[in-house]
Structure 1
Amino acid sequence: MHYQTPSAAIADLVNLKPDPLMLFGPDRKHIVMADRPNYPSIEELREPKLKLAGRLINPDTFTPHGHRGYFDPRVRNLDTEEELPLRGVPAGAYFRYFNWSPNGKRIAFCLATPTGLQLWSCSIDDLECTPHGEATINNSLGGSPFDFVNDNTYLIRRRNPAAVRPVKEKKVLGPNVRDTSGKEGSNRTYTNLLQTQYDVDLFRYYSSGQLYLHDGVSGTEEKWGSAGIIAGLAASPNYKYFLVTFVEEPFSFNVPYDKFADRVEILDEHGERVVLLEERPTMEHLPPAFGSVITERRRFTWRSDHPAQVFWTKALDAGDPRNEADFRDQLYALTEPFTGEPEPSVKLPLRYGAVGWCRGDLAIIVDWSWKERRQVTRRWWPDEPTREPVIMYDVNWEDSYNDPGSFVSITNPQDHNVLLTRDQGKKLVLTGSGHGPAGTQPFVDEYDIATGATERLWQSTPPHFERPLFFLDQHPDYFILAREQKTERPNYFLRQILTGEETQLTHFEHPYPQLRDANYEKVQYARTDGVKLSGELHTPQHFKAGEDAPLPILLWAYPQEYKDADNAGQVTTSPHQFTRISPLAPLPFLAAGFAVFDDFAMPIVGEGDVEPNETFVEQVRMNAEAAVKTLVDAGVADPERIYVGGHSYGAFMTAHLLAHTDLFAGGIARSGAYNRTLTPFGFQAEERSLWEVPDTYIKLSPFMYADKIDAPLLLIHGEEDSNSGTYPVQSRRLFKALNALGKTARLCLLPYEDHGYAAEESILHMLWEMETWMSKKA
């Protein structure tokens, strides 16, 4: 069939102008702004695409497929509130990877051309833009393809000049053969992997690059380092050394490229190797438990507050969290000139997670345990490596009400992140979500390093919902916040944290005034076992529950696993947040006269040693029964016109609800997985394999209960879904089963679409399918 369009009221909500890119300069007086495109067309999605090693590559441009970038770049001066366009760039062009020089005097970016990316830059003084070299950048593996070495010098990742594109052998020489390794290990169902030797040759050609050192003043350029597949590049704070990761052969047919074998080196400013830090094998055989890691050195990082000191961690439990161990990870350090032995540093009882640098006597390190849902934040002393760290916070990450927040970082003059301190270095700064029974109220706290006491400096207050975004690097009394209300979209402000003085930075208008006055209510209720639930109820503007006739209603959700029933019922949204409407979410159907119960609670709780998935079916049923009863009793929902839907794991939930309840007039399942035997090494929060708990995998497969799905089911799927576990075959097989069993179902496969739908034609047709499906009985 041809692409269809939903009713005008719904279609009008699709092409809304997105918020622009906003990138603050180091002086925080200037902002690079650029507009984002709405949606690509189907023709753009049809552009050439190679599926290699877990990547989608445009072979014409050596870039990730489907990323257009930004347009209409300009600079806003916060002192004068003037916006000036970048000069000298081609009209109608798209741009990517905007970046500021360390001193904030230059802006660099990539121009997207038909043959690839080209580096350009301009001075902040006149905004006159000039190119740097040809459009030969290699960005096939994503990430920024250039970096500042100093204020006028760049390292650019270009295509390997010695590489020759392979030609596919026309003659079939023989079968493709692979052997098992004989080693135990599990991997999830990755997509778009290498399949043949020709794929190997293509991946080598498109991913291999050569770094060049480019002088922005003279325009001269010279090779830097050796050619190869560069997966990581990071300069030391003194810019005399570079941490570089190269992907190594042989490539794997079982995992994506970020799990391929690699080697990690430190190169000097001339591109010469100083030291080989590690050579690591392909990650095909990790233990199945969450938190499993390789046994080699990993997580290499520069210490941000030191001129040239590199840190890494190494497992002390053989990389397997199932092993008993007093300590799971240990950090090591190596200091310029990198000729000595690594210096052992802090040992961690849990798995290493992150580090925040500040100074020799202060750093923050985080370790965690999946099994306990535990996260520990510790203070430690990098210059005293054997000194035992001190626990600052020990929390259950599912317990949102007791989340103390995260320590704030700023960018230092060396362009590295360091912890923000106040009061002559005696205090740190925390920002947090501020979840609570009355709703979310983000905050900024000051943390006394000596005592551990906190003082609240600022908190969002009703009727606004405000979020602190970041503090100014050179002026730490100022921070940027986003402010919104239920009927006012987010705008951005510069606020002085001590005096409360503010400057408004943006003046975005309401994007869909036709729905400004729609009703919104945070509904709280409970399921039969006492677990507290909540959901976001949206009804048309003039609807009054109990007075007007009940409405057709769409319930939309995404299941979440918990280990504690009390945490499952916590409120993590605010009634004062702006009602943002995405065409990929259910709210457009407000415009068609539906009520919408969005993000209604779908907790799956497994306390103690019980895994949540053991009672998944029973709990999704209880959650849905509680929601439907609440909406019907309130006079909101017509019990004959209640629909349920979801995307991905929400689609999986939807199929189960139609198989195991009689609550719904129909269901909408988008890009889901329905046969868990096709994801045998785990899915979502399930870390056990099919062979360990076969009955659980069968019970959790709605495909096995297709004969019990009596309500009409609409299945929508992107034909090129690359998400792990949700191959299009999942929807195809379920539809075939429903068809053979005489059930009412419809399958819509969207051409060229991935797990999330991108093209305007696809999104409009998806909405038409959903509207038409629910209108059959509405």
Structure 2
Amino acid sequence: MKIKNIFLSATILASTVIANAQELPYQEPPKEIKEIALAKLSPIIDFSEDYKWMLQLERAPYYSVSELAQPELRLAGIRINPETFSESRQRGYVGVTLVNMETKLERVIEGFPDQSIILNINWSPQSDKIIFFVKEGDGVYLYQCITTDNKAVKLSNRKINACFGTSLFWINNNEILTLAIPENIGNAPVGSTVPQGAIVQENSGKAQAARTYQDLLKNKFDESLFDYYFTSEIIKINNQGSLSTGIKGVITSVSLSPNKELLFVEKTHKPYSYIVPISNFPTTLSVTDINGKLIKTIAEIPLVITAMGYDTTSPYPRNFGWRPDKPATLFWTEAQDNGDPKKNKTEYADIIYQQTFPFTDVKKEVVKTKLRSYGVQWGNDSLALITESSAATRLVKTSCFKPGSDKDPVPLFEFSRDDNYNNPGRPHVVKNQYDKYVLYTNKKNNQLLLLSDGASPEGNMPYLSLYDITKKKNTILWRCKAPYYETISRIKDPVKLEIITARQSITEPVNFFIRQIKSNKVKQLTNFPNPYPSMKGVSKEQIRYKREDGVDLTATVYLPAGYSKEKDGRLPVIMWAYPREYKSASDTAQVRGSKYTFTSISYGSPIFWVKKGYCVMDNVEMPIVGGNGVEPNDNFTEQLVMNAEAAAKVIHEMGVGDTSRLAVGGHSYGAFMTANLLVHTNLFKAGIARSGAYNRTLTPFGFQAETRTYWQAPEVYNAMSPFMYADKLNGALLLIHGELDNNSGTFPIQSERFFQALKGHGATVRYVVLPLESHGYSAKENILHMLYETDSWLEKYVK
């Protein structure tokens, strides 16, 4: 009864005033931390389809708090800037350099307005033009640059509606389709400060469990704002101007048929929901011609609230798309168990159907799956791949089939989702005559090119292989070699086996190369410098060790430049981690990542503190293992403690870590982990918990991989909630949370209530709210202050 009262009171109260709270002016961390945090990063690289051109996209710096303070609407699970009809807090790019791949000549593209942000780019089919989505002060516009020039020119004065992101389709090399704000839209709705009535929600005896979501619609005024800002129309744009197709509404998705003659349009409509986001709203699915004339309404999907549990899905048709190998054929998936395999036992979980223009014939079965279908990779009339999976068992199965054939698919690969060692990789795709991506295969349709992460006991060593479907034989054609970590960015020519790779090492940042596999010739394309020169000499090592029950673990250890354990002795230690659930101990034990990667330091990284004389243990594995009928979370706390004890033991045995000066930290589920370790062990002097959840009764319909509800497993929810053990905190806990956290389950009230509980029991705790921040942080002032708070806490309670 006590727990039930906690749950009810916490959900009724939306916020709380913290006693003795104060507004502290923004502070900055020490110089060595600030320098790394503000380092200019290498640009993002993008290649034209004909590989004659390369774009270097300069990443936008951090926002300022004043930019975060700009108007923002939070509607139906999406946050937008109402002044620009676009998603808010988009980083984008602030500069573009066009590079001729043959001559290496670089040209900076000019013509973008000052203070504008480039949200997205799109190459024309002939690779001679680039379209840019550019956010200016009053909206998002399209700009075009011809590759023979270095000037970007505004293509149209029509403002783009980018509330759902950016969409663009090439009808031909000179004409495009996109979503625009309707003309003559008028002024935005104005709400009254006087309520017009009560807000009522009702349920008529039907179970409709839903996880906790942020930013939902709350009233009729929110609905009117949602309609105003999310309504768009599909327009055509060419060099002569723009033309409306007449297709208008809250368009959530649009796609162009391979023959460029039809549009598949998804529109959401009322009645809207106040308990789930837009992805669950009622939807009308239809096909029109390129000029907007309705061909057929394909389906009407009502409000969807899926059942709780593994492998549940919508009971209605889902995952619609155009077959890329056909002129105008739609395909989709239908659950045969009404979307709930626990309640409805069926031989086949899903069937994929198709229907061809003019969509008057009966739908035809393409393939059926015994597990839940997770997508088709189309090749041609003779070959396609179907992937099916079970969330309950983690099994992933890929089979090949002949579309429309009565023969059962032929299994190719079968492995656990957590078993990276046996994951063969993803098939290479190429563009066909319709400019759509399809499987690359030989004329006999019995060979595929596979790109693999190359997971192994030595870490990830990516490779390219030739897979023989008939013989089920995999032949490696190329594999990266130590001391480098090299991934395939593009396959430039699958016949000549010419690839573009991104290569890095412990001391070298990512740079791009062209490799000719057959002749083993290599040509470097970029030469980006190390953005962190002050990190020179810092050592990095991936270590392996075991926990008490024999499960193998790994972590990455960083030590200060010039450190000698004989001379300098043991160092204070920071462990940074994020727990993950597994179904088997063997999968848990696999080595993940690579020991040859360059150390890229994001704002949330613990690696900053190696510059302050700490031993940093990053990516410390915290597996929670289930299996044999036991769910991973059934003994979450016991396994978490074993993981932490094993990490503390190994760093002590290495002779570099001082286990009397240990700190632990993490973000989100890592923050949840941190709080649990401080209430269930006395290993740590301090903890850093950023944007976490601490009372699982406030997420009663599931969290992370937990699909049971609070009422089905109350003992699990209670045991996993550090809030319930607020009187048992050991060490000093720093809680940090974004004021406007948008993540499902990590409402700021989680940190507010936990702080109050800890304070009430005399714990050493500090609660820092970062103004205007979401689940991830983006303002320069807030990020520097967060680093200052973390550094001060570690210096005071650990070092």
| Shift in alpha-carbon separation, 1:466–1:604, aligned structure 2, 3 A | same
- Residues 87 and 719 from structure 1, CA distance in 2 versus in 1: closer, same or farther, beyond 3 angstroms? closer
Residue 473 of structure 1 and its aligned partner are, at CA, apart by 6.5
When structure 1 is superposed on structure 2, of 177-186 and 253-262 the one drifting more is 177-186
Alignment of 1:132 with 2:152, yes or no, is no
1:337 aligns with 2:358: yes
- 1:149 aligned to which of 158, 168, 171: 171
Q: State which of 401, 405, 415 in structure 2 corresponds to 1:395.
A: 415
After the TM superposition, which residues 655-670 of structure 1 pair with which residues of structure 2 at under 5 Å, given as runs? 655-670=675-690
| 1:364-443 equivalences in 2 (<5 Å) | 364-382=385-403, 384-422=404-442, 425-443=445-463
List per-residue Cα deviations over 1:75-101 (Å, max 9, x = no partner): 111001111122443355322221011
Query: What do the CA deviations read for 1:331-388 (whole angstroms, capped 9, x no partner)?
Result: 1111122221111221111111011111110111101001110011010111x33221
C-alpha distance in 1 between matches for 2:569 and 2:635: 36
Identify the residue that residue 25 of structure 2 maps to in structure 1.
2
Show the counterpart of 1:177. Answer: 200
AA aligned opposite 2:280:
K
In the other structure, the counterpart of 1:606 is: 626
Say which SS state the counterpart of residue 509 (structure 2) adopts: strand
Calculate the aligned-residue CA RMSD, in Å: 1.5
Instruction: Quote how far apart the aligned CAs of 1:476 are.
Output: 6.2
- What residue in structure 2 maps to residue 557 of structure 1? 577
Matched residues in 1 for 2:649 and 2:566: separation? 14
Of 584-593 and 288-297, deviating more is 288-297
What displacement does 1:413 show? 4.7
If the length of structure 1 is used for normalisation, what is the TM-score?
0.97
Are the equivalent residues in 1 in contact too, given 2:175–2:236 (CA < 8 A)? yes
> Is 1:18–1:38's contact at 8 Å kept on the other side of the alignment?
no
Amino acid at match of 1:414: Y
- Matching residue of 2:45: 22
Match of 1:691 among 711, 721, 739: 711
1:228 corresponds in structure 2 to 249
CA distance in 2, matches of 1:62, 1:457: 48
1:652 equivalenced with 2:675 (yes/no): no
Deviations 1:110-158 (A, max 9, x none): 222111011121222224433222252111122x243222111111211
1:354 to 375, 379, 393: 375
Partner of 2:20: none
AA aligned to 2:389 is: W
**C-alpha displacement at 1:160, in angstroms?**
2.3
Q: 1:264 to 1:474 in 2, by over 3 A?
A: farther
Over 3 Å counting, the alpha-carbon distance change for 1:232 and 1:475 in structure 2 is: farther
The equivalences for 1:567-582 within 5 A come to: 567-582=587-602
Alignment of 1:69-108 (within 5 A): 69-91=92-114, 93-108=116-131
Per-residue CA deviation, residues 611-668 of structure 1 (Å, 9 max, x unaligned), is: 0101000000000011101111222111221101111001111111111111011111
2:472 to 438, 442, 452: 452
In 2, Cα distance between equivalents of 1:450 and 1:629: 50
Q: Is residue 412–residue 473 contact of structure 1 (8 Å, CA) maintained in 2?
A: no
Is contact 2:236–2:244 with CA below 8 Å preserved after alignment? yes
| Map 1:660-739 → 2, pairs under 5 A | 660-739=680-759
Partner amino acid, structure 1, of 2:31:
A
Matched, 1:41 2:64: yes
Deviation by residue 1:747-778 (Cα, 9 ceiling, x = unmatched): 00000001111111111111111111111141
**Matched-pair contact (CA < 8 Å) for 1:3–1:762:** yes
**CA distance 1:668–1:89, shift in 2 (3 Å):** closer
Distance 1:401 1:292, change over 3 A: same
Question: Do the aligned partners of 2:97 and 2:106 also contact (CA within 8 Å) in 1?
Answer: yes
**Is the 2:90–2:119 contact (alpha carbons within 8 Å) kept by the matching residues of 1?**
no
From 190, 193, 198, the equivalent of 2:221 is: 198
For residue 218 of structure 1, what is the amino acid of its counterpart? Q
Residues in 1 aligned to 2:409 and 2:445: alpha-carbon distance in whole angstroms: 19
> In 1, distance between residues paired with 2:293 and 2:592?
51
Q: Which residue of 2 aligns with 1:260?
A: 281
1:491-511 per-residue CA deviation (whole Å, 9 max, x = no partner) reads: 011212322222211101111
Distance 1:154 1:581 in 2: 39
Whole-angstrom distance in 1 between the partners of 2:476 and 2:150:
41
Once the two structures are TM-superposed, the CA of residue 710 in structure 1 deviates from its matched residue by 2.4
Map 1:467-546 → 2, pairs under 5 A: 467-472=487-492, 477-546=497-566
Quick one: distance in 1 between partners of 2:764 and 2:455? 43
Q: Flag the 1:412–1:76 CA change in 2: closer, same or farther, 3 A.
A: farther
CA distance in 1, matches of 2:516, 2:206: 58
User: Structure 1 residues 747 and 725, CA, compared in 2 at 3 Å: closer, same or farther?
Assistant: same
Alignment correspondent of 2:15: none
Structure 2 residue 180 is the aligned partner of structure 1 residue 158: yes
Give 1:426 deviation, angstroms.
Answer: 4.0
Task: Report the CA distance shift for 1:633/1:89 in structure 2 as closer, same or farther (over 3 A).
Answer: closer
Which of 645, 650, 653 is residue 633 of structure 1 equivalent to?
Answer: 653
Shift of 1:292: 1.1
Given residue 178 of structure 2, which amino acid in structure 1 is its aligned partner? I
SS in 2 for 1:590: helix
2:58 is aligned with what amino acid? D
Counterpart amino acid of 1:652? F
Instruction: State the shift of 1:425 in Å.
Output: 4.8
Return the alpha-carbon distance in structure 2 between the equivalents of residues 117 and 381 of structure 1. 44
Which residue is equivalent to 2:348?
327
- Contact kept? 1:16, 1:38, Cα under 8 Å: no
- Given the superposition, is the C-alpha separation of residues 484 and 620 from structure 1 closer, same or farther in structure 2, using an over 3 Å criterion? same
Q: Residue 383 of structure 2 contacts residue 445 of structure 2 at CA under 8 Å; is this kept in 1?
A: no
Comparing 113-122 with 685-694, greater Cα deviation is found at 113-122
- The amino acid across from 1:21 in the alignment is I
Moved more, 327-336 or 158-167: 158-167
Q: Distance in 2 between matches of 1:494 and 1:251?
A: 51
Describe the SS at the equivalent of 1:650: helix
Contact persistence 2:56–2:98 (CA under 8 A) = yes
- Given that 2:267 and 2:284 are in contact with CA atoms closer than 8 Å, whether structure 1 keeps it comes out as yes
Structure-1 separation of matches of 2:42 and 2:278:
33
Q: Contact conserved, 1:410 with 1:471, CA < 8 A, in 2?
A: no
Matched position secondary structure for 2:501? strand
- Please list every run of 5 or more consecutive structure 2 residues that lacks an aligned counterpart in the other structure: 1-23
Task: Find the aligned partners of 1:660 and 1:674 in 2 and give their Cα distance.
Answer: 13
State how far apart, in whole Å, the 2-side matches of 1:535 and 1:310 are: 47
C-alpha contact (below 8 Å) 1:138/1:145 kept by paired residues: no
- Partner in structure 2 of residue 243 of structure 1: 264
Asked whether the 8 Å contact 1:420–1:476 carries over to 2, the reply is no
The TM-score, its normalising length taken from structure 2, stands at: 0.95
Query: Aligned partner of 1:656: which letter?
Result: N
Question: How much does 1:262 deviate?
Answer: 0.4
Q: What amino acid is aligned across from residue 326 of structure 1 in structure 2?
A: E
**Structure 1: distance between partners of 2:713 and 2:510:** 47
> What amino acid maps onto 2:590 in structure 1?
Q
* Residue pair 1:246, 1:263 contacting (<8 A) in 2 also: yes
Deviation string for 1:299-320 (max 9, x for gaps)? 1111111111111110111111
Aligned-partner SS, 2:250: strand
- Kept in 2, the 8 Å contact 1:410–1:473? The answer is no
Task: State how far apart, in whole Å, the 2-side matches of 1:464 and 1:696 are.
Answer: 44
The one-letter amino acid of 1:149's match is I
* Secondary structure in 1 matching 2:379: strand
